[in-house]
A = this chain, B = another copy of it.
Amino acid sequence: MVSLKPDLETRLAEDHHQAIKLWLRLLTCTNLITAEIRTRLREEFDTTLPRFDLLAQLERHPEGLRMGELSRRMMVTTGNVTGITDQLEAEGLVRREVDLQDRRSFTVKLTPQGRKVFGEMARVHEGWVIEFFSGLSASERDGLFALLGKLKTHLNTKEAQP
């Protein structure tokens, strides 16, 4: 006969398998969205996701950000930020300002042109994101937001105490 309540060992194995399935599904959703954003940014604005991300960080911080802070917020290495900033500076969208307090540091800011160019991209980008999540109702989006918030907190507290 088929048992309605699997024994503990089986149940555990299923939980384990379930965690992997959950992780793969999370990864798939993120990959599908980033791939689509990447393609559209290239086709419509001839730019890349890392460039867009850096501009987005600066838009949120008109006072400017240091390289290390950009690196933390973008979750990439500082070496990576150096390269992307070089490009955007060459394109005239951002500029490094010397920090009088600390001569090792720069403060990176949007140029007026950078603010203008990013503004248009951000408007369109927001429409894309709304479109991607439009398959969920508002309350489902709230639920997803809350669950991811709890997950994020757990991940960050774990990191603090390895």
Query: Which of A26, A29, A75, A129 has the most chain B CB atoms inside 10 A of its CB?
Result: A26
Interface of A is mostly: helix
Cβ contacts under 8 Å, A155 to chain B: 29, 32-33, 36, 132, 135
Q: Does A10 contact B (CB under 8 A)?
A: no
- Bound state CA distance, A138 and B17, in angstroms? 12
Q: Are B19 and A129 in contact (CB under 8 A)?
A: yes
Q: Does A124 contact B (CB under 8 A)?
A: no
* A132-B155, A135-B154 known; A149-B20 Cβ under 8 A: no
The total of chain A residues at the interface (CB under 8 A) is 49
Q: Which of A1-32 contact B (CB under 8 A)?
A: 15-16, 18-23, 25-32
Q: Which of A39-90 contact B (CB under 8 A)?
A: 75
> Which chain B residue shows the least CB distance to A17?
B126
* A145-B22, A156-B32 known; A150-B136 Cβ under 8 A: yes
Instruction: Please report A residues at the B interface, Cβ cutoff 8 Å.
Output: 15-16, 18-23, 25-36, 75, 126, 129-136, 138, 140-141, 143-145, 147-159
